[in-house]
Each structure stands twice: as structure tokens, then as C-alpha cells.
Structure 1
Amino acid sequence: MNLRDFNRVIRETLFLPILLLIALAAFAGWQIQQSSSALTAIANSDAMTAEINELQKLIIDQETGLRGYQLTSDPAMLAPFRAAAEPIRKHFDHLRRVISGRQDASHKTNELQQLTTVGDRYQLWLGFAMGVLNKDPAIVNDPHLNQRGKDLMDSVRAAIDALSKTETSVRRERSASALELERHEFATLVVA
């Protein structure tokens, strides 16, 4: 065996395994990146759901404060109503920014529309609530007035529920996509 044949054998013996190791490392890096992206999307969806739940809690706090005031005419009952005003605005702003920053246009458009509906219905209820606060405390416990407030709040709750269900659906899709990605990656590794 001469030096030329020896070099060729060495090259063939080392080149193919090294090439396969490089390809496997690149594939593993791609898998890690894909899994990381999928998990990040799921975590973002979880954070979004928590934000929606917190918004709903604050709105219910406002409603509770208003109802307490209607029942007792005690301005101290309005503390939760007033305390929730600024955090509610911040939650709406944050949700709008998060949804606007999403990559998937179909979900983004639908969720922005739903968030706008929640905001519009909340503003209607808030206008009603401010009207109640400007009335004589002796007449704020009118049954017709209470029913109007209940109807408006039910509308807000329904809109928040729709937004929450949409986000839950988005999370399910992302989870299913992540599981499917893992199955494909595992199958590819087994085949390789």
C-alpha cells in the first residue's frame, strides 16, 4: 500500500463519520431550537391566559365595589372600584401589545377583535357605573338600574370568556404542534 492509497483510506474512514457527526449535531441543534420555540409559545399562551384572568378579576372587583356602594351608600365600598381602574387600563394595554406582537396573523386578528369587544363592553359598563356614582345614593338601589348594570356586566363577562376560550384553543394548537414536532424528531432520530 503506497502513501496515496493510505491517505485515501484514512480520508474515507474518517471523512464519512465526521460528516455524519456534523450533520447529526446540526440536526440536534435544529431540534433544540424548534422545541425551544414551541415551549416558548406555550409559555406565552399560559402568560396570556393568566393576564386575561387577572383582568377579569379586576373587573369583578370593580363590580363588587359598585354593588357594595349601591347596597350601603357607603363610599368606602368603592375602594376596590377605584383601586382596579389603573391596573385594568394597564392590562388592556399589555394584552393589546402582546397580541399585536404575535406571529400568527389569523389568531392575532381574531384575538385583537375580541379584546376590542371586551374593551368596548367594559367601557359601556364603566359609563353606566360612573352614572350610578353620580346619582343620589338614595336612588342607586333601583331594581331596573341594577338589572341594567347586571346585563352590561354579563356582556363584559361573555366577551372575556370568548377571549379566554380563544386563547385556550391557541394553547391547545401549540401544544399539539409541539407534540407532533417531538414525534417527528424522535422518528427521524430512530431512522437516522
Structure 2
Amino acid sequence: MDMREGRIMRLPPRERILDAAEDLFFNLGIRRVTVEDVATKAETTKAAVYRHFGSKENLIAEWIRIVTAQYAAILDDLEKTYPGDPRAQLYGWAKHIADTLATTSHRGCPFINSIAELPDPNDPVRLLIEAHKKRQAQRVAVLCEGAGIPDPEAAAVEISFMLEGAQISTQNNSIPNAGQHVMRIISEILDRADRGKKKGSLKVLAKRAG
């Protein structure tokens, strides 16, 4: 028994089920994994899974809520680490994605993968993911504005596209050293704030001189 399996067995039944589901859903996909698969990995019964979650769909939704909370917590932690410094927070956010690309390269983004398995646009799990992505994009836009990046909404879109694309490119092995490109691009985006400040200063000087 490896360390992960040992940790699972020390958890209460509900947490064991969630831990097993997280591993299986991420590595195998949400549709391929059955309730029986989750119960077997958690060393419990199907009845226990249904008792705690009611259905497989509810279990998937709870997993997605946990993952979205984990992503939100990263930005929360960066805000605490770099209070009042949105530029450092943006850089730290990109660095987190860049640093984790290698460890998730075999499967990529859990949200992208899950949406691919949910064709119904009104699926509750899909709606959870969409709401999370919108909140995340809005939060990045606020940071871009705070960092003084010109056209912060457009910059937030650019950052979102860049980070999503980096995860997909790493997954399909199309772009070598994707993490390095992520950090180069985020640095260039952040540098726009400095150029904007310099341009603004020059305009003020020109106005005064005139």
C-alpha cells in the first residue's frame, strides 16, 4: 500500500470517497469512472457512496466545487502574500500554472476535460465550471486594473487565453517548455503597466512644457 492509499484509509468515509473520486475523475474522466470504481478505491460500498452523495452526479458536482475552491484559494493566498501588490499577485498566479504544467501534463485542466464530457449546456456541473471561470476572469481583470495595465479587461482575456492554452499545449505536447513561455508572456503583459506610466508621465511633461 502506497502513502496515498494509507492516507485514504485514515480519512472518514465521506472524505475517503471524495479523495478516491478526485483521483479517478481527474485521471480517467468523469464518465468512464463508475460509482463502483469509486467505492472500490475508497474501500467502501456503493451504498455508502449513495448514502453520502445521493448520486454520481452529486459526487461529480462536489468534486468540482472542491477543485474550484482550491483554485480560488491560490489567488486568496497570493493576495495575503503580496497585499496591495496586484502585479505580484498576477505574476504568482501565472507562475503557479507554469510550475504545475509538468505534473498535470498527462491530463491537463480538470475543468476543460470535464466540460468535454458534458455536452448539455445546462448540465449543473458544467454550469458550476462556467461560473467559476467567469469569477476567475473577473478577478484577474481587477488585478490587471490594479496593476495599471492599459485596457485591463483585454489584458485579462489575454492572460486567460494564454494560461488555458498553455495547459492544452502541454497536454498534447505541441509546445516545448510551455512554462517558460507562460512566464515570458506574463512578464511582457505586466511590462505594459510600466510603459503606460512612462507614456503618461511624458504627456504630463509635454502639457506642462506647452
TM-score (norm 1): 0.35
By relative contact order (CA 8 Å, sep 6+), the higher-ranking structure is 1
Between structure 1 and structure 2, the one with the greater Rg is 1
Task: Name the structure with the higher helix share.
Answer: 1
TM-score (norm 2): 0.33
